[in-house]
Each structure stands twice: as C-alpha cells, then as structure tokens.
Amino acid sequence: MSRIHNLELNTNWSWKQREPAVESVLDEVDGWKPAQAYPSEIHVELLKSGAIPDPYLGFNENKVQWISKAEWLYKCTFDFTADAVDDHALLEFLGLDTICDVYLNGAKILAADNMFQTHVVPLELSSLKQQNTLLLHFKSALLLAKELEAQMGVVRAGSTNLGDPSRVYVRKAQYDWRWDWGPELMTCGPYRPITLKTYTVRIKDVQTHALLSDANAPSLTVDVTLDGSPPAGSSLRITLASLDGKVLRTADVSASTSVIGGAVSWDLSGVVEPWWPVGYGAQALYNVSVSLVSIPASSSSQPPSDAEAILDEKTTRIGFRRVALVQEPLAEADQYGTGTTFLFEVNGVRMFMGGSNWVPADNLLTTISPERYRAWLTLLRDGNQNMVRLWGGGVYEPDVFYDTCDELGILVWQDFQFACGVYPAHDAFVASGRKEAEDNVRRLRHHPSLALFCGNNEDYQLILQWGDVKDFPAIKIYEEVLPEVVSALTGPHAPVPYHRGSPYGGKGWDTADPTVGDVHQWNVWGGKEFPWQDYVKLGGRFVSEFGIPSHPEMKTIEYWMDGAGAEARHAQSALMAQHCRAGSFERRLAILMNEGFRVTEDLETYVYNTRLMAAEAVGYAYQVWRRKWGGRGKEYTAGVLVWQLNDCWPVTSWAIADYFLRPKPIYFTIKRQLETYSVGIMRTVIKNRANDRPPQYYEYGNFQSYGATLEIWGTNSSLAPRAATLELHCVDLKSRWTHTETHAVTLLPNQATELLALPCPGPPQDVAAAPPTGDAQFTSTHSVVVGARLLDGETGKVLARYADWPQPYRFIEPALLSQPGLDVKIDRATGEVRVSAERPVKGLWLSATSDDGKEGKEEAKWSDNALDVMPGDPQVVFVKGLGEREVGVGASWLGREKVQPL
C-alpha cells in the first residue's frame, strides 16, 4: 500500500500568444518563452519579458488593451514514474483565469469557464507517460462576454465606470473589466497552483465542527470523506494539538467506509480556550490532524510487523467560537424609528464592528505575496479595526488571507462574487455558480474568523435605483442556491450566517431603509451629494459601505507621473484623471472641496486638502455612528465599514491606505475613533434666523449666531465600566482667551455614554473680535476650538482626545493657523516623537523626505498622524524606519499645507 503522491507542477512552464494561422493549438511550435513566474498571469509574463510597459505608470494602461482580445497558451512538461500499487490519479487546478481548454498529452481533459472554481479532473493512469505535456489554452473572456451578450441580451450592470455590462455573463473577477477605482486589465493564466495526485486511497475532505455551546463550553466533531478503497484494517487517526505540538486529544477510528460522519465527538471543556476577535481576548488556535493509517498484514514467512503506513494526512487549523447575526426588534426608537438590529454576536458578546471593505490588492493577483497580505491585514488590525468585508466584485482570496485573519482576530464578511449587475440564471450559469459556492464554502468554513457569507454586492439596490429592470433572474441564486449551499456545508451544528445581499433590508427590498438590515451610504459624495456633516442624519443599523475619496501622498503621485513634465502636475491634468476613476469625480470633489477649503492651483496644497477632507468626514462618521451603539436594546448602529481599505494600483480613490500601503490621514482618524475609549463632541449652532444657512457652515459661515451648545459623549468597547475625568479646554483662535473645566464621568461597558451637555464657552465681548452686528444676543463662539480629553481617574493618563473646530475651514484666516508655535522633538534612537504647540494646530501631518524607503530601507511608519494639537496637551507618537539614517522629517498642517522641514 502506497501513500498519496502529490506533484505540484511548478517548474518547466512556458507561454506564448496563440497564432490564429495555426489550425490546432496542439501544433503551436514556435515562439514559446520560459515563464518567469509561477503561478502565472499573462500580463506579468509580458511585463517581465519587456514586451509591454508597466500599465500602472502614466497612460500605459491604454497601451495594453490588445492583450485581452488575444488568446494565450501555457505549457508545462513534467516527468512521472508510476507506483505499481496506485490505481487513481487526478489533476487539481486551484484557479484558472478564466476560459481555458486543458490538454494532457494531446487529449482534451477540461473546458474551464469559471475563475473561482477548483477543477478536479480524474485521470486514467494510462494517460500519464514518463514524460508529459500539459497545455492550457486561454481564450478571451472579453470577447466571450460580448458573444454571450449578443445571444442573451444587453442587461443593466453598474455604470460606465464599472466595466462593460457584458461582464455579468462570465464568471471572472468583475473588477478586471474596470471599476471606479481600478484599471481595465483583463489578464488570464494559471493564477493558482496545479497539482498531480496519484493514490490508492486519499482523504478527500475533512470538516471540523469546532463548537462553543451557549455556555461557551467547547466541543469538536470531525467528519471525514475518503476517495478510493481503504485497505482492510486501516484506520483514521485524529489528533487535536496546540500550535506548539502538544497533543490534547487523539483517537483511532475504523476507516471501513468512504464517509465517516462524527469520526470523533469530543467534549473539550477545560482543554481548549475560545477564539476571540481582536480586542476581546486571545486568538486561540489549534491543529486538527487526520491521518489515514494502514498496518501491514503479517505473513507466514515474515514475523509480525508493528510498522504503520500513513497513506494520507490533512491538517486543519481551527478556533473555537460561535458567531451569530442578530436581527431582533429594538427596545426603543431612534431618529429613524424602531426596526431591528443588525449586529454580530461572538461567543455571546455583542460587538460593535469597525472595519473596512477589501478589494483585491493588485490587478495582477500573482504578484501579491503572503507578506503583502499580512502587511495589509496587520495595518487594518493596528488601526483598531475588527472586521474586513471582502467585496463581491473581486475574488475569493487565497488561504493565506483567511489564515492571517484567524491569527490577527479580524472577522471576515465574505461576499459571493456578484456585483452591481443583473446576472443571468439559466441552468448552466446556476450550476456553475453552485459549484463555485460549494468549492469556496468548503475551503473557508473552518476559519474562526469567518463571520458571514453574503449573496452579492448592490444587485438589489441598483435594480431598485434603475427602476426599469423587469426581470431579476439571479434571485434564484441569492435566495435559493447560495443559502442552501451555506446551510448544507457549514451546518447543521453552527452554520455560518447568510445575508442575501449588501445592502439588503426593509420592505420590498428597500435597501436604503435605515431601520432594517445594512445600508450603503453614498448620499455623501455620490447620490444626492449631501455635505459630509449630514452623516449624523444618514446612518443605519449597519453601514457596510460609505466613504470619501482622497489623493495618495505626493510620493505615490510622482510614481505614476513617471517623469511627466510640469504641465501634468496640477489637479485637473489628464494624467491625474487617468489615475482617478471615480464617477463624476471632478464635480463631486469640487462640491466637497469648495464648500470646506479654499480653492488652490497648487497641487501639493490641493492634495493635502483632499486628504484632510476625507479624514475629517469619515472620522466624523465613525464618531457619530459609534455614538449610536447605545447598549442592550439600543444598538441603533452596530457596525461601520469604510469603503475601502486598499487599492489595486496607484490611484486616487476611497482607500484609506494607498497601493504601496502608505496610510492616508483618514486611516489615523478612523484608528482614533475605534480606540477602546473615545470621546466625541457635537456642536449645534444657535442661528439667529430659522431659515439660516445649513449645518455644514457651522459657525464661521454665520457671524450672527446666538452661540452654540455642546453635547459630549464617550465610548467604551471594553466589557467593564471605566471611571474617568472629562476635561474641556477651549481656545479662541482670534484672541488669547482660554477656558478649562473638568467633570468626573463613568464610561459604561460596551456602549456609548452621554457625558455632558452645556453651552459652548466663548470669550467675553470685550475680548472677542468685534462682531458685524450690534445684536445683544450675539455670542463669540464662532472662533473657538473645543478640545475634550478623557483622563484616567487615578493616573491622569490620556485615554482619548478630540478637538472640535469651527467650520467650514475655508473661513479661517490662514494667518490664524500658519504660526502655531509648533515644536516637534524626534529621538531617532527610540523613535519617540513629541509634538506640542502654543496655538491650536489642525491636521498635523508628519512625513519623511523623498529619500525615505530608498536603498532597500524601510519606509517610515508612524504610530499616529494627522494630529489635532491643542496648547498644553503634548502628544507622543512613535516612528519606525528612521533610525540613524539621514532622512529628513517634515510637517504640514491646515494653513501651511506644503511640507515644512523640521
């Protein structure tokens, strides 16, 4: 009896463009080039061979569109020596992108048409020779989509900046057709591993049910499926061990049948610890190993043997947790009414979800290394985020993504890969979608980080918005096929929750109903183009998408400029537009920018302002929506996921960190709002006329206000109350007047707590600048910055801080901001950076010089940034990557937006 043989076909690959003049692809002889990557995509090979320019630079994207209309061939040669006792063989393809005919030794063995499926092709052992050739013929997904569209009809799918509508007919990553943050790069190739397996019997599938009871008592059940005929007397050895190898439980079970349900069922109370999301406990992980063991029978001529043969083995890493999506009636109404919750409960604890949406981290998927995945997810975790939503127009990510989420304690919301379109539901398409779902649910179901499967992204919403779509055939997929697959493959003990679409909720699919389900809040920036100050009125039970675009830092812009001249270095140049795909971005950015900031022709200043604007807007949204996490029965908003965490190429987008993992200011404002403790301020201006200007003009927009009121609250995500001191420090920008007061407060556990309501302090009339009116009711708060700090009641340590500034910022005279007496002290040995100021500073951005990151050195990484600094409140942050190198440091802030050397 032989153990299974696995031969990954990872060498001897070559590729070429298909020559239409050659009648059969089997006859393609000339022009083969050795592959320089494995797994491989054709754009990567063309780029590495110098056949195309880098599509991420300049206008080069436009120069490579011909690739998507061509056909491409890959070839692999491999040796094979048969084992005399093997009687089964198969080829396993973990990912073929996308339309691919596969030939083994000249015989066609597979016609693949779904990028997201795992293709397992049984082989006759006689089809394998001593020397073998595997040929992959990739056809144009772009042209096939148009052919299918001609046959089945043109349907609605996104808009002009969300790719050609024909994309819905092909099961390929939808963002490849172009999206409003990504390029059009229709790549193809064997983008995930290919393995030849030969065996007598193998372990086909292992399903682990790592359970926690309602009382958090752990247990483990393991189901095993075999392929082939196990020899008489063989057994399954199932072992549970800690990651350091300590065996916690083991058992041998007879392997007499191919399906062994409940091979073991262990009560593990006192043996294992639960897995917790980040911030709530440790991420306890364990290995479950299943070995198929055969003990050779003795013969009369040989003495008995105790030697065991391990025919196959699989190891699955698990964590013990239970997760629920709780949708229950709220005890009291909020501004929207009552409705139901939409919240995640893990191990019996209801948790506020603060996180990001994920798009593929590159258009060239094979270039994303495990280290790069870990860097992205660590950045998310270090930003105090506990959930990532994998958006439905990308891909099901490789195992390393979910493994890393398990390790870091990041909960995963996994969309199925349908986005922004009217998808078909004919029999072949439904069958392909079902297998796609089965393949990926089986692959992902054991991950403790997996919190939700979701049917699609915005399909219900867009059909409602369009209003002219008569048929919605994919309902069959979202409301029948996918929930059936999730229930069957993750249940019955503890099925992973399923949500039929995002957003979804309300009567008649009212995907904008703020009282039911989740919402995508795009009426700021898009939709009705409301000001960002309206986020306080535009929430919902769970905000799974919203955002404001901003530019990356100048270093990234210079990268895509690729040496372009001065004529390209302004905000409205064609080259800047080439790297901004957001729909109607010229108008939409102008609305928000002109309302909040002074118009400028200087690119660096403009870039700074977009970054500060996005940081202010999105930080405010997190602040006011987290305030609505009000405790049991008042969980009015239970989660906020910004669009989006990352970029797939160098671009201006909604990403909170750019393609090179360089965090934007928005990353840090979100990080502060999601700290264990935070403090918030809502200033409400008392207008002197009922029909005065709207709230986004705050106080600087109307010098005849009758003052303002302040509401101050704190949040506490820990499960224990926290006593603290609330300190208010008010500073007038136009005078030397200040005001300080303190209050003893208690932050209730796992919720927001209303702390204080009071009139906004302001300087007396004889100190304040003369108002443009003699109205006796006029007050002088229009130029007051209000700072709030939460201090530990015993040690005085700062738990949280926030500064509320008068708005819009364009009305603040630069002279009041440009000379704040800023002092920055950097200890290069320890990385400690101490920041203080004599006058209030808005949006202080610390950065290293252009030499940063060169010569293979690490780029500077800041623990905090985009700081609001108040007098008398020094802040300490840390920087990694400066060390003793002669790298300069600069700073910019509102009023001095161009970097100033320190």
Catalytic residues: 458
| 558 Rama class: left (phi>0) / alpha (psi -120 to 50) / beta | alpha
* Eight-class DSSP state of 104: E
Burial of 150 (0-12, 13-18, 19+ CB in 10 A): exposed
Q: What is the 3-state secondary structure (H, E, C) of 792-808?
A: ECCCCCEEEEEEECCCC
Which phi and psi angles does 605 have, rounded to 5°?
A: -65, -45
CB 353 within 8 A of CB 251: no
* Eight-class DSSP state of 364: S
Q: How many Å apart are CA 136 and CA 120, to the nearest integer? A: 15
Q: What is the 3-state secondary structure (H, E, C) of 649-700?
A: CCCEECCCECCCCCECHHHHHHHHHCCCEEEEEEEEECCCCCCCCCHHHCCC
Residues 6+ apart with CB under 8 A from 221: 208, 209, 211, 262, 264, 265, 266, 493
Instruction: State how far the alpha carbon of 431 is from the alpha carbons of 117, 678, 759, in Å.
Output: 12, 49, 64
Q: How many Å apart are CA 133 and CA 26, to the nearest integer? A: 10
Strand partners, 800: 790
CB 497 within 8 A of CB 487: no
Q: How many Å apart are CA 133 and CA 143, to the nearest integer? A: 28
CB 214 within 8 A of CB 347: no
Token digits for 874? 């020094």
No. of helices (H) and no. of strands (E), the chain: 13, 43
Residues 6+ apart with CB under 8 A from 849: 887, 888, 889, 890, 901
Please report, in angstroms and rounded to a whole number, the separation of the first and last CA atoms in the chain.
72
Token pair 């001249």 is found at: 565
* Eight-class DSSP state of 334: B
Angle, nearest 10°, between helix axes 603-626 and 554-561? 130
Residues 6+ apart with CB under 8 A from 736: none
